[in-house]
Amino acid sequence: MNFNLTEEQQMLQDSLRRFLSNEYTFEKRGQIIHSGKGVDETTWRAFADMGLLGFTFPEENDGLGGNAIDTMLVMDSFGRALVVEPYLSTVVLCGGLIRDAGSDSQKAAILPAIAAGEHLMAFAHSEPGSRYNLSQVVTTAEKTGDGYVLNGRKTAVLHGSQANQLIVSARSHGDIADPEGVSLFLVDRNANGLTVRDFATHDGHRTAELTLDNVQLNHDALIGEQEKALPLIEKATDLAIAALCSEAVGAMEALNEATLEYLKTRKQFGVPIGKFQVLQHRMADMFIATEEAKSMAILAASEADSDDREERRRALSMAKALVGQSARKVGQDAVQLHGGMGVTDEMLAAHLFKRLTLINLLFGDADYHLGQVSDQLLAATA
Amino acid sequence: MDLNYTPEQDQFREEVRKFLADNLPDDIRQRVKQRLRPTKEMTQRWQQILFKRGWAASAWPQQFGGPGWDAIEQLIFEEECAVAGAPRQLDFGLRMVAPVIMTFGNEEQKERFLPGILSGEDWWCQGYSEPGAGSDLASLRTTAKHEGDHYVVNGQKTWTTLGQHADWIFCLVRTSSEGKPQQGISFLLIDMKTPGISVRPIIMLDGEHEINEVYFDNVKVPVENLVGEENKGWTYAKFLLGHERTGLANVGQWKALMNRLKELARESRDGQRPLIENVRFRDRLAQLDMELRALELTVLRVLTNESGPGPQASILKIRGTEVGQALFELLMEAMGPDAIAHIPDALDLGYEGPRVGAADAAPAAGDYFNMRKLSIFGGSNEIQRNIIAQMVLGL
């Protein structure tokens, strides 16, 4: 039991934070968001040079053999700087899936390309109406002589349009929410029959809606075992949840720093507003909420790689629920303490608030995950 | 970073568990499991058992008779004790005055006072608060006048927990009215049998006698009972409060309560179904389970911090007491209408009269009322927020 970073981890965190504060400024980020592409190639290449894009891949695939704790460090720093590049989609979700379930040839083809910064990917699983229910998949995969044909719709595909390749879930067996019968497929961005509609998100990221209309795939597009993908999807989701928890903690810490600075400099009635006890206590509560969220983000990162499904999912749900509640509190209070300035688009605080709000809506919000913890209590008594 | 316990820590936990299974007397365990207050005799008997094993003071260094455990081992020990149903050890001696004597006392004081605290023979209570000095502790008015080889103490202390049992009281007294209020305070150790001391009970809202008023009327205290330097008591007082706060997170006790809540949820009925199937109740249980996990990890983070807990201990006091209060509240609500009957005799040793509901329904509402104290004592949670705002955030 220890909470210390290794020397290498500490060095990585320091250099990443230095890079982001020098190169990834608020103004620069604004330009990236408003560019047509929505992601910055130079920044992405710099991440590749730092080794971040292959951090959690095996060494034989040009990776560094890291784990979810390493992802935590990266995401925490990204949260502080509000990085909008597709790290979650490409490295955590799709990279994680290929690493954990891909064939040797899939790993060899994809992981080094991601690590080198040459390949962007997106995970297309959610569908209209499925909300956070992972087993609900209506999109169909029909088996043919030489492969599969996919039909259906996907929603909330983070950075779907920016990706060169997607991982798409589809069902070839069972009812729409049957845990069995779902498979994962590699689909090229320019595949015939695939329509991708790109949207900006409120927090400067990108999302896409997908339509799959008779998309034809070869046998080798299948990832892992046919019709047994749900455990893989759960695992990838848990890796994403852990990453988002850390990103949220980084954003909350940055938000607290910005708010504290504001409380110390903004004057009303002749004194800095931070002298008012009613605001001090609110700030103290934001600080406490962030520390508790940090504890749970560490728990999430520690459990995310575990193969003990029950224990892992319980820990991840507890973490996502508590981080969601804390982020809502810290975000709303930070805007309130900034007063009128807090509701303008010029303030960093407003952008941190927006990111925190959207993180809660991804991969299960606080209510959903509290419900998961609650249902596990019931299951444990059965 | 690794949240797993090491094999040595797991082994240590097993050792503690086995010791508790073999040595915690049944009568004490049963009483604590029903959340009834252990008698003075029980608390002292348990302290003696721990003393013989060398585990009487989990936080003390070896040179003073402690086991020399690190922060994790202390937490494991406390958690196992609480979950097994061991009585809470008395903080006033072990966690409050002892660290002050170890750090600021002279050799003679260490030799004279520490052994009695360790063995549990000496029962200590705390003389900090006064009727006019609660959160504003430094405004205290009890005076100690230096006259030859002793001080003459006059004044009143209040909220003195378990003072009715005490052999000794550690007091903050005013030895000077010069300068700022903090500057004229001294730290005195006073024998409760000294002529001029009288103790009067205060009945708390649960109907129980837990706290007292202590009056000092020309009480003569030998000068060798002054800890450290005269007029430097405020420094020692703050040091003590820091130690008290880290003990207030109470994770082990809250885990024991959570276990009982889960058991109750399975066993009690809500109409035709078990209570656990009531989704509104279960969601609140889940919320608390999650908050308790976050508290536990935050305690571990703060207490294993190499630079010491410092003002961050205020987080533990606030969250520890908030989680505890919420647990007692949910426990009462889990009992439901079984909690409304007030049967004071049912809290006494050997009660065999009529009851309502489960054996531990009797203390449920009283505990809920009583535990409102948690967010008030040890520096109210509002004072803790001031400390965070000023000492941590620099506001």
Contact list in A for residue B307 (CB cut-off 8 A) is none
Which is nearest to B386 in space by CA: A258, A287, A261? A287
Distance from CA of B307 to the nearest CA of A (A): 13
Distance from CA of A45 to the nearest CA of B (A): 29
Q: B78-116 burial, b for 16+ CB within 10 Å, e for fewer?
A: bbbbbbbbbbbbbbbbbbbbbbbbbebbeeebeeebbee
> Which of the four pLDDT bands, split at 50, 70 and 90, describes residue B246?
low
Residue contacts between A and B (CB atoms, under 8 Å): 129
Residues 6+ positions from B8 with CB-CB distance below 8 Å: none
State yes or no: pLDDT of A236 exceeds 70: yes
For A100, counting Cβ atoms within 10 Å of its Cβ (0-12 exposed, 13-18 middle, 19+ buried), the class is middle
Residue B244 appears among annotated catalytic residues: yes
> Which of the four pLDDT bands, split at 50, 70 and 90, describes residue B190?
very high
Report pLDDT for B249.
Answer: 83
Calculate Rg over the CA atoms of chain A.
Answer: 21
DSSP secondary-structure letter at B329? H
State yes or no: pLDDT of B310 exceeds 90: no
Distance from CA of B374 to the nearest CA of A (A): 18
Considering only residues 290 to 309 of chain B, which have any Cβ-Cβ distance to chain A shorter than 8 Å?
290-291, 293-295, 297-298, 300-301, 304
Which is nearest to B189 in space by CA: B113, B107, B116? B113
C-alpha B252 chain-centroid distance: 13
Which is nearest to A55 in space by CA: A90, A4, A25? A90
Average pLDDT value for residue range B282-287: 98
For B39, counting Cβ atoms within 10 Å of its Cβ (0-12 exposed, 13-18 middle, 19+ buried), the class is middle
Task: Work out the angle at residue A282's Cα, subtended by the Cα atoms of residues B132 and A247, and round it to the nearest 5 degrees.
Answer: 145
Rounded Cα distance, B46 and B120, in Å: 9
Helix (H, G, I), strand (E, B) or coil at A253: helix
pLDDT tens, B328-368? 999 999 999 999 999 999 999 889 999 999 989 999 999 99
Rounded Cα distance, B358 and B356, in Å: 7
What is the percentage of chain A residues whose pLDDT exceeds 90? 97
Residue A340's φ and ψ, nearest 5 degrees, are: -55, -35
- Of the residues B74, B251, B291, B385, the best mutation for testing chain A's interface (the one with the most A CB atoms within 10 Å of its CB) is B385
Rounded Cα distance, A88 and A329, in Å: 24
> Which of the four pLDDT bands, split at 50, 70 and 90, describes residue A79?
very high
CB contact under 8 A, A322 and B291: yes
Set B111, B244, B277, B382: catalytic member: B244
What is the percentage of chain B residues whose pLDDT exceeds 70? 98
The structural domains of chain B, with segments of one domain joined by +, span: 7-89, 124-231, 248-392
Contact list in B for residue A274 (CB cut-off 8 A) is 389, 395
Report pLDDT for B94.
Answer: 95
Place of tokens 């807090």: A342
Report pLDDT for B380.
Answer: 93
> Which of the four pLDDT bands, split at 50, 70 and 90, describes residue B313?
confident
Of the two residues B379 and A23, the one the predictor is more confident about is A23
Which is nearest to A353 in space by CA: A327, A331, A328, A325? A331
Rounded Cα distance, B188 and B94, in Å: 17
Which is nearest to A120 in space by CA: A164, A56, A61? A164
Rounded Cα distance, A90 and A240, in Å: 11
For A37, counting Cβ atoms within 10 Å of its Cβ (0-12 exposed, 13-18 middle, 19+ buried), the class is exposed
- Of the residues B305, B319, B395, the best mutation for testing chain A's interface (the one with the most A CB atoms within 10 Å of its CB) is B395
Contact list in A for residue B3 (CB cut-off 8 A) is 1, 298-299, 302
- Beta-sheet pairing, A121-124 with A165-171: parallel
- Please name the helix (run of DSSP H) or strand (run of DSSP E) that holds residue B263, with its range, or none: helix B251-267
CB contact under 8 A, B298 and A291: yes
Distance from CA of B28 to the nearest CA of A (A): 29
Report pLDDT for B378.
Answer: 86
Rounded Cα distance, A233 and A236, in Å: 5
Considering only residues 255 to 284 of chain B, which have any Cβ-Cβ distance to chain A shorter than 8 Å?
262, 265-266, 274, 276-277, 279, 282-283
Rounded Cα distance, B336 and B278, in Å: 13
Residue B173's φ and ψ, nearest 5 degrees, are: -130, 155
Residue A161's φ and ψ, nearest 5 degrees, are: -80, -25
Which is nearest to B373 in space by CA: B329, B323, B313, B325? B325
pLDDT tens, B211-237? 999 999 999 999 999 999 999 999 999
Which is nearest to A246 in space by CA: A308, A327, A313, A310? A327
* B124-231 against B248-392: fold identical: no
By mean pLDDT, which of B51-65, B68-82, B294-308 is the weakest? B294-308
Task: Work out the angle at residue B209's Cα, subtended by the Cα atoms of residues B204 and B210, and round it to the nearest 5 degrees.
Answer: 85
State yes or no: pLDDT of B127 exceeds 70: yes
Distance from CA of A275 to the nearest CA of B (A): 6
Contact assessment for residue B370 and residue B205, using Cβ atoms and an 8 Å cutoff: yes
Contact assessment for residue A325 and residue B294, using Cβ atoms and an 8 Å cutoff: no
pLDDT tens, A305-318? 999 999 999 999 99
Q: How is residue B107 written in tokens? A: 């050799």
- Which ranges of B304-391 would DSSP assign to H, the alpha helix? 313-335, 364-370, 381-387
pLDDT tens, A282-308? 999 999 999 999 999 999 999 999 999
Residue A192's φ and ψ, nearest 5 degrees, are: -65, 135
Distance from CA of B257 to the nearest CA of A (A): 15
Which domains does chain A possess? 7-119 (1.10.540.10), 123-227 (2.40.110.10), 231-381 (1.20.140.10)
Q: What architecture is the B124-231 domain classified under in CATH?
A: Beta Barrel (2.40)
CB contact under 8 A, B294 and A292: yes
| A303, closest residue in chain B (CA to CA) | B3
Across the interface, of B2, B286, B386, the residue whose CB is closest to A280 is B386
Report pLDDT for B304.
Answer: 84
Report pLDDT for A21.
Answer: 96
Q: Which residues pair with A94 in a beta bridge?
A: none
> Which of the four pLDDT bands, split at 50, 70 and 90, describes residue A189?
very high
pLDDT tens, B82-124? 999 999 999 999 999 999 999 999 999 999 999 999 999 999 9
> Which of the four pLDDT bands, split at 50, 70 and 90, describes residue A341?
very high
Residues of A at the B interface (Cβ-Cβ below 8 Å)? Answer: 1-5, 9, 69, 260, 263-264, 274-275, 277, 280-281, 283-285, 287-288, 291-296, 298-299, 301-302, 318, 321-322, 370-371, 373-374, 376-378, 380-381
Calculate Rg over the CA atoms of chain B.
Answer: 22
CB contact under 8 A, A287 and B283: no
Across the interface, of A2, A292, A301, the residue whose CB is closest to B298 is A292
Is residue B141 less than 8 Å (CB to CB) from chain A? no
Across the interface, of B9, B286, B312, the residue whose CB is closest to A377 is B286
| B4, closest residue in chain A (CA to CA) | A1
| B76, closest residue in chain A (CA to CA) | A1
Which is nearest to B182 in space by CA: B235, B226, B142, B111? B235
- Beta-sheet pairing, A121-124 with A147-158: unpaired
Q: What is the mean pLDDT of chain A?
A: 97
The fold for domain B248-392 equals: Butyryl-CoA Dehydrogenase, subunit A; domain 3 (1.20.140)
Contact list in B for residue A3 (CB cut-off 8 A) is 1, 300-301, 304
Report pLDDT for A382.
Answer: 67
Across the interface, of A274, A281, A378, the residue whose CB is closest to B276 is A378
**CB neighbourhood size of B158 (10 A):** 20
Contacts of the segment A188-191: beta carbons below 8 A, 24+ positions apart = A188/A164, A189/A163, A189/A164, A189/A165, A191/A215, A191/A216, A191/A217
Report pLDDT for A255.
Answer: 98
Cα distances from B277 to residues A326, B266, B267, in angstroms, run 27, 9, 11
Distance from CA of A72 to the nearest CA of B (A): 11
Contact list in B for residue A2 (CB cut-off 8 A) is 1-2, 304
Q: How is residue B86 written in tokens? A: 């061991």
